[in-house]
Amino acid sequence: MNQRKLANRSVAEIGLGCMNVSHAYGPPSDPAAAKALFYAALDLGIDHFDTAALYGFGRNEALVGEFLHPFRERFFLASKCGMTGVNGTRVIDGRPETLKQTCKEALTRLRTDVIDLYYLHRWDKKVPIEESVGGLADLVREGHIRSIGLSEVSAETLRKAHAVHPIAAVQSEYSLWTRNPEIALLSACEELDVALVAFSPLARGFLANGVSDPRDFIEKDIRRTMPRFNPPHFGRNRKLLDAFNRVAWEAGCTPAQLALAWLLAKAPHVLPIVGTTSIAHLEEDVAASRVRLSADTLEAVERLINAETVSGPRYAAETLAEIDTEVTPHAG
């Protein structure tokens, strides 16, 4: 794959978000299936693996550590703190002492001495961002982590954090149907030489034609709580796909590859991470690195799917209250 800069390293421009094998969209993968997926990713040239203490309440980090520690020198390892499971409940806690304890536990689960990029998974609004970043800066000085990242934050918060310690990356949802980073974060990252790691680049499967009927989601699928996958919004959004699929066909690629190639074309400091439990889907996603879109195709897809044509907010109101990203207006 082509390479891009991440925390002063050169990595493949498409990385693997490991969450799906433990968390959020279905029952956890069998460990053997998770192992096969991770090894397939390495074989495909992926050298950026992203996990978090939250995913599976530590189980995801443990799987990454169990299966990938023999190849630790071959890949860039990112994980997250500040949002974890406590007694079976998701908790946001950005106090420095909590972040340091979470890191200690993560290092054990990941079977490594150092994490290349450690994100604050959510800004705990009860704790000044400067204090949380100060705690992470201590971990850099102590050699436990190499660089600091933030997740789901605004350009303003990024600037405050960056004044305390250089921020290497911001992870934010970014895709054709979630354009919040374009308000201010994308340009702020460019100005500060910060990578923008884009999660859910395929709109949680929607842009890959992976959602035919949200009523089929299992009970604990997090998309059940997301307005865009519920009436009346899903019906409106579903109508966008026929034209989107035609643009992909005309461009000579799959819809998933079109979505990823569009994102890669937005800016050289954008690095998408894909999440899947399917090796076939992973192979398809990685092939997007070879897709080149014409100016006409980019214009067509921008005109088709954007903040004005997508119906519904990306999260329910209670979740939106937890995060710090700028908010785009939305249709519906």
Beta pairing class for 195-199 and 270-274: parallel
Please tell me the total number of residues recorded for the chain in this structure.
Answer: 332
Told to judge if 55 belongs to the known catalytic residues of this protein, a careful annotator would answer yes
99: Cβ contacts below 8 Å, ≥ 6 apart: 81, 82, 120, 132, 135, 136, 139
Look up residue 268 and give its two tokens. Answer: 């050289």
Among candidate residues 80, 76, 67, the one with its CA nearest the CA of residue 31:
67
Please state the rounded mean pLDDT for residues 20-27.
88
Look up residue 290 and give its two tokens. Answer: 């070879």
Q: At 220, is the pLDDT very low, low, confident or very high (cuts 50, 70, 90)?
A: confident
11: Cβ contacts below 8 Å, ≥ 6 apart: 3, 4, 5, 47, 48, 76, 271
Q: At 330, is the pLDDT very low, low, confident or very high (cuts 50, 70, 90)?
A: low
Give the integer Cα–Cα distance in Å for 8 and 169: 10
Give the integer Cα–Cα distance in Å for 286 and 250: 20
What is the tens place of the pLDDT at every residue in 142-168?
999 999 999 999 999 999 999 999 999
9-18, 184-193, 216-225, 247-256, range with the lowest pLDDT: 216-225
What is the tens place of the pLDDT at every residue in 94-119?
999 999 999 999 999 999 999 999 99
Q: Which of 55, 118, 119, 315 is catalytic?
A: 55
Residue-averaged pLDDT of the chain:
96
pLDDT of residue 332 exceeding 80 = no
DSSP characters over 117-157: EEEESS--TTS-HHHHHHHHHHHHHTTSBS-EEEES--HHH
CATH architecture of 3-320: Alpha-Beta Barrel (3.20)
Burial 179-200 (b: 16+ CB within 10 A, else e): bbbbbbbbebbeeeebbbbbbb
What is the tens place of the pLDDT at every residue in 284-328?
999 999 999 999 999 999 999 999 999 999 999 999 999 999 987
Residue extents of the structural domains in the chain = 3-320
3-state secondary structure of 298: helix
What is the tens place of the pLDDT at every residue in 191-201?
999 999 999 99
Cα 76 from chain centroid (whole Å): 15
3-state secondary structure of 92: strand
7: Cβ contacts below 8 Å, ≥ 6 apart: 76, 116, 117, 146, 147, 149, 168, 169, 195
The helices-and-strands tally (H runs, E runs) of the chain is 12, 12
